[in-house]
Structure 1
Amino acid sequence: MLFTTQTQDVISVTALNRMARNLLENGIPSLWVSGEISNLTLAASGHAYFSLKDAGAQVRCVMFRQRVRQLDFIPREGMQVELLGSVTLYEARGDYQIAVENMREAGLGRLYEAYEKLKKRLAAEGLFAEARKRPLPPHPRAIGIVTSPAAAALRDVVTTLARRMPNIPIILYPSPVQGNDAAQQIAHAIRSASKRHEVDVLIVSRGGGSIEDLWSFNEELVARAIAACPVPVVSGVGHETDFTICDFVADRRAPTPTAAAELVSPSRDAMLQQLERGKRGLERALARLIIDKGQRLDYLANRLSHPGERLARQQQELSRARIRLEALIKNQLRQDNRQLANASARLGRLRPAPEQAARTLQQLALRLARASEHMHTSRSMTLLRLETALSAMNPEAVLARGYAIVQNAQGKAIKSPSELGDGERVHLQLAEGEVDAKISLPHGTQTQLPF
């Protein structure tokens, strides 16, 4: 029993959900759960909301921003994961969910693995090659749509086409876009459009959904039907983040059905604006052409004149040319006369004068003779002074007066008796010869010691 006899037997929904939450959080400990991610939403706040499912069941999960940032991978739709979390209940909706604390990859999910295998195989066959992509017709005569008549995507496409180009016919090739046989119906609708040759471009579209909802557009028979279609195909399946095999095989991929309608249809407003711009451009070009031709006509009219007027103008030009020529000749003659006068004056100044040159030469000869005589007298007096000084300093003249030069055995001239010793042999140089002598000092005398 959950209630005692004192407890009220009627409680509010809030109280009930709180009790269920407490029972779940207290009764089931944190545990690891494995499954496949589905219906993944990465909110702008950073939180992740998704379902974890297996072949028999699914459960809602929430992983808050702080936990998501700690992951070393980005969760993706169809990924097989193992997560650690606690079971709780979101009281506002009464939904029980797992508050995820940690998550690790456990390999790709079954659907995602099949998607990747088919994608690789078709890419290897060249179905995704850019070389086989066909350009979209700029002005299609009719546009075909393969989708469900009840799909919201059909309303979006029709509304967009009616707004952009309402006069283009639209042909619907109805087909379910979700369910067990949806892929076969979609492929059949595409083949019907190919056989009937009613449209110039074909849109294959549906709204967004989970990977299971969009799986019909990942089937191989749909991909091969698109590849075999003789008209260009635009894929507008799901939202911008949804990618299907259909997107890779189609000639163009649009992020949404509305974008697919914009790709295949020209904009009437844009065409009208372009037409108006072309009209204004032609008007401006025509106006410029008329103005240019009028100016050209005026120019030619001004050039057209009577032959007599032309001869008169030529005579006037000839007269002016003659006057200019005469003026140039006179000016040149004046310049030549001035140059001739200047040359004559320079020649007169440079003409030699023999009388003046003779007088100048005579004066220079007199000056040279006086300078030579003066130099001779000066040099003679200098020579006499030097000769007198040399005679006074001549040692032989001193010897001639009775003096002698005393030298010791080493040839050194003796200046003082103190430099001689008793009995020392000396050499005497006299005025008329040389002689050796022996020093004899008085007894009892001694030369001064060289302290």
Structure 2
Amino acid sequence: MEDLELNFEGGQPGRKVYRVSEIVSEIKSLLQKRFFDVWVEGEVTDFKRSSAGHFYMRLKDEKAQISAVMFRNKAIFLRFKPENGLSVIARGSVSCYPPSSTYQIILDYLEPKGVGALQLAFEQLKAKLSAEGLFAPERKKPIPKMPKTIGVITSPTGAAIRDILNVTRRRFCSAHIILYPVLVQGERAPKEIAHAIREMNRLEACDVLIVGRGGGAAIDLWAFNDEQVARAIADSQIPIISAVGHEIDFTIADFVADLRAPTPSAAAELVVQNRAELLARVNSLRSRVLRMMLDRLAFLGQRHKTLSTALRVNTPERPIELFMQRVDDINARLRRGIQTYLSRRRQQVSNLALRHRALVPTEKIAAAHSVVQGYKSRMARAMRNRFELASTHYQALHDHLMSLKPQNVLRRGYAICQDAASGKPLSRARDVRLGAPIIVTLSDGSLGCEVNDISISRNSSNNGI
């Protein structure tokens, strides 16, 4: 500390002064040179994906954390989606972000720790599509028993198409096969497979589709774990059989397809019936039908013989004659019954007509009409008398009200006195002072006056005036 000297005077000769941007640039250069290619292990936190497709996150352990970014040109090659809490191993270079002067890792590669990236991507996509219901059994379409045309989406040079053709020729050579050639591995394979499924649905040229390829490593089969392939299979209106790899290989396409076949050859066996088995079944059915027809003919022959014998013994003419006699008897009884019924009804109508004529109330109606006319005349006279009485009473009230009208009172010599200032009517002399201006209203006009004398009546206090 004793050797430390502070100099606040002018700039020292040879001293270099950095601008902020320059010192940050120097730090960035040093970091990039020193930590150009590093591997970092940590846990993902604060993961975010920007609208441009860049991945932003922090990598942390129990003691520290560091910002990290993976730009879109690297992120598109990730086969899994980073998540908060996922332990990863990352590769990249340490750099400095000048606007905030924070150091960060620019990631070139990222893989989950302990679980392969392909396996994690497989499990993530499987969980996502399962949650959407794409694996539900009720979505599966039935596979036709004997399709006329079979569509195959696979490589034209692979073992899968050869196996399918061999099985088809061996089992039923008349089956029609349509091959839609696609790549079955590589970056372009998922897009080609999905496009082929949609195109075969658009053409509607086949009854069932086989989508698959021969065996291989997990990375070779990865095109059938792609989301766009899975969604194309789910959207297909044509039933689809997935035939990828060997029996131990499972892909996302197997779960979404309407039926999984362990191999392409097994897929062909599922959709193409064995010709020999079909012929044996047809022959068996033909023999059964022939035996049933012969048995039926024998039964009908015996039945015919029995009925013929019974017909000769029991001729049908006798029952018919008895039936005709019974019909005649019923017809005669019906006629007699109808005549009896009509006679009884005619007698009842005659009796009712006599009673009706005796009960017609013509005289009662005439008497009641006379009474009503009398009530009507009396009511009219009473209403006229009541109206005349009411008119007289109304006229008397009208004349009385007219006599009390202020103009009529003024015409009889009375006047109305008012205070000239306030316009208030004056009813008592004691409310007016000498010299006050007042207005006196007469029947034909008003007078402006001045009070020169005030005389108060002696009994004004007694009568309240």
TM-score normalised over the length of structure 1: 0.43
TM-score normalised over the length of structure 2: 0.42
The structure having more radius of gyration, on CA atoms, is 1
